[in-house]
Structure 1
C-alpha cells in the first residue's frame, strides 16, 4: 500500500519545508505527487526532482495540452537523471492569462505517446467521478487503459459509498484514491459549483469531520489493497496529518 500526499509547488523554499515536515513527522507517507499549476513558476517535474531528496517515490502531474505530440517531451531526461519512473497525465486547464502555448493534445494522446516511446515509464491517468455519468467515466477509463495507462488517480472523494461503487468498477486496476479536507463553507461551495461534488448529508466543513472521513478512507484503501493520496488545501498541514494518522495502523 502506498500513501501519497499532494503538495502544491508554490516555490522551492515552501516546498522543501513541507517535504521536511512530512519526512520527519509522518513515516507512513511514502510518496509525493505534485500538480503542475500555471500560476506558479516551479514546474511539477522540477519540483518532483526536488522531492527525490526526501522521498523515493515522486510523481509529477503532466498537462497534456502543454505538449505537441509530434515533438519530444523535453523534461524526460531530467526525470531519468533523478530515477523518477512514474508520472500522472491530465488534460489540463487552458491558462487564464493566455500567455502559454497550448496544443490540441488530449491525455489519451500523450499517454499513448509516452508508453510507445518510453515503455519503462509508469503512466497514471485521472478519474473525475463528478464529470458526468458513471457509465461515461467508465468508458473514458477504458480508453485510457487502451492507450496504455498503468493506473489512476481519482478526484477527491467525500463519501465512502461512492468509493465502494468505483472500487467495484475498477477492480483489478491500480488506483490512488483521493481525499481532500474541505474546512469552510466557501470551499464547500467551490467544490459544489466548480467540481460538481454532491456532499453526503452528514458532511460538515470542519477539520474534525474531514479527519474522521480521511481515517475511514485510509482504512477502506488498506482493506481493498490499493493506494491513497491526501490533498490538504487551505488547512494546517501538520494538524490535519496528525489527526489522520493518530491511532490508525498502516
Structure 2
C-alpha cells in the first residue's frame, strides 16, 4: 500500500512519548503520525506533531477550522515551519465545552484555502464523514474542499468493507486514507451508533479479534488498490492492537 498513518492522542508529553516509543518498533510499516487537537488536553496538535518528529520523519497535526480567525494570519504558521511540519489535516472541530476558548464561524473550506494562500509548501488534507448525511451531500463537501486546494482526504472509521467499497467507487482517483478503529466494548459500540450514526454489520463483535481481522481486510484492500490506511486506536490496549495489526 502507499502509506499507513496512525493517530495518537496527545494527552501530555510523557504519555505521547511513551506511545510513540511503542509504535516506533513498527517504524518500517508506519509512515506518518496523526495528532488530533483536543482542547481538554494541554498539548495542541502542532506541539504533539513536533514531538512525533523525534520518532518518525512525518507527522500531521489536525487543525480545527472553528479556531481560525480568517482576519488574522495562521497562528501556528511559524511553529509549523520551525519544526518542518509539511502536512496538516483540516477538520471542522467540536465546539469547546467551556467559554474560555474562542471560536469563529469558520469552516474547513475557508481554512484549506487559507493554508494554500499562506503556506503553499504545506500539503493540506481534509476530512470525510461518511455518517453525517447522504453520500450526495458528502460528495458535494469533497468537491468544495478539492476546489479550495485539498490534496487528499481522511475518512471516519469504516466497519464494513461493503460500505468502504461504495465510497471507494465514489472517490476513485483521489488520495484517500481509509479510517479503521477498534471497538472493544458494547459501550463503545453504542457510542458509535448513537453519536456517529454507524450501522455495524451483522458479523460485528466488539472484540480485539474482530477489530484486528477487519484491520487486516482493509490493509489487504489498500495493498491491492495502492491506497492508504488510517488507524485510530481509540480507547484500546495499544500494544495488543498494534501487535495484532502489524503481525
What interval of TM-score do these two structures reach, taking the shorter chain for normalisation? over 0.9
Write the distance in 2 (CA, Å) between the matches of 1:77 and 1:116: 15
CA distance in 2, matches of 1:24, 1:111: 34
Hey, what does 1:192 align to over in structure 2? 193
> Which runs of structure 1 show a deviation greater than 3 angstroms over 4 or more consecutive aligned residues?
none
Deviations 1:155-190 (A, max 9, x none): 000011111111111111111111000010000000
Please show how residues 103-114 of structure 1 align to structure 2 within 5 Å.
103-114=104-115
Mapped pair 1:215 → 2:216: yes
Q: What is the rounded CA distance, in whole Å, between the counterparts of 1:99 and 1:39 in structure 2?
A: 11
Partner of 1:82: 83
2:86 and 2:191 map into 1 onto residues whose CA distance is 34
1:101 aligns with 2:102: yes
TM-score between the two structures when normalised by the length of structure 1: 0.96
Q: Which runs of 5+ in 2 are unaligned?
A: none
Q: Cα deviation per residue 1:24-72 (whole Å; 9 max; x = unaligned)?
A: 2453112100100011110000000111111011000000111101101
Pairs within 5 Å for 1:114-193: 114-193=115-194
TM-score (norm 2): 0.98
Q: Which moved more, 1:224-233 or 1:12-21?
A: 224-233
SS, match of residue 61 in structure 2 = strand
Matched, 1:229 2:220: no
Partner Cα separation in structure 1 for residue 209 and residue 131 of structure 2: 24
Q: Structure 1 regions of 5+ residues with no counterpart?
A: none
RMSD of Structure 2 on Structure 1 (CA) = 0.9
3-state DSSP class of the match of 1:100?
A: coil
How far the C-alpha of 1:119 sits from its partner, in A, is 1.5
